[in-house]
Amino acid sequence: MNTRRNTIPPGVEYHRVLAGETRRIGRGILAIVLLVGGMFFFNILFPAVAVLVEGGPSADGGVAYTPLFHATGMAAVAMLLPWSMLIQRVLYGVKGASLHSVVSSFRFDIFGRALLVIIPVWTVVTAILYWAPLPEHTVSNTDVVWFLLGTLLLTPLQGAGEEYGFRGLILRVAGGWARGARSGIVVAIIVSSVLFAIVHLSSDLLLNLNYLFFAIGIAVVTWRTGGIEIAVVLHAGFNTLGFLFDAALHVDVIAAYDRSAGVGSATTLLPAAVVVLTALVVWFRTRRTGPALTPSPLGLHGAGDPAQPGTDAPPARAARPEKTVAGMN
């Protein structure tokens, strides 16, 4: 079913790695269906196991948000990380590690610098979001400890899983539906961002706008930096801090994370605003170099090798040194 095996085209942007001579829209739709379907499957299966382990639903038919239920929910979304890699490998013949970045590895230098800049900002933003009273419930100290452990160990992977799925696989799949790199990134951002908002299953306008612009901003960051590292810091950092505050303040998570119409407030769009601001900073920092590109076959970024068939980068772009487009230098 794949047209090439383990091959990363040289001199192309992150979202064009899966682009070929044909647009392969049918294959792309299959990839998206498998990804989203898998996400819902994991989100049903894992928490269901937690409910069975803990004795089934409560007397009123509801589900208690226990530490085990929380941990299985985080683990379910984290499964998108290997699932995305598997779908890419099976349907496109491209190794899963290429989802990390244009150099097919996770760039810990960019990740580390992003942590130092973004986490303090998220800490302040989270404090603002939790300034107003939230619904609370009684919870034992033991449960608080288990909530904290589950959050610290699994929520970063949960955020990463969503990024590899939506800003990784879906961005690449949709990015190959257009003929060129510029039209491809427009299609990729629209498709990945709209789907990201839809899967959160909210009927509130402000929440949906927050999800949409949050996704657009992270997609721009991923495109310009040529990798998923900063996206993971933005998403996983925000989610992890939020659940840490929930545990510390004994927040009733089910009530606090209600996504029905009318729950949005003046601060609802604050996370999206931070992400969009981050995207603008990254764009400014990469305005001269442009988006990061995949390296040449020999790993010589200055070799000036021409773009290969099915790619759309001119020779001058392909010759740009990879280290100048890290995005957070």
Q: What is the per-residue pLDDT across 163-188, written as a single tens digit (0 to 9) for each? A: 999 999 999 999 999 989 999 999 99
Angle between helices 80-92 and 141-162 (to 10 degrees): 20
Average pLDDT, the chain: 88
Query: What pLDDT is recorded for position 58?
Result: 60
Query: What pLDDT is recorded for position 137?
Result: 81
Does 314 have pLDDT greater than 50?
Answer: no
| Confidence at 319, pLDDT banded by 50, 70, 90 | very low
Do the beta carbons of residue 100 and residue 228 sit within 8 Å? Answer: yes
> Where is average pLDDT lowest: 57-61, 184-188, 269-273, 276-280?
57-61
| Confidence at 60, pLDDT banded by 50, 70, 90 | low
Q: H/E element holding 301? A: none
Written as one letter, the residue type at 192 is S
| Confidence at 21, pLDDT banded by 50, 70, 90 | confident
Give per-residue pLDDT as tens, 112-170.
Answer: 999 999 999 999 999 999 998 878 788 889 999 999 999 999 999 999 999 999 999 99
- Could you tell me the pTM of the whole model? 0.87
CA atoms within 13 A on the CB side of 121: 16
- β-partners of residue 193 are none
Query: What pLDDT is recorded for position 40?
Result: 97
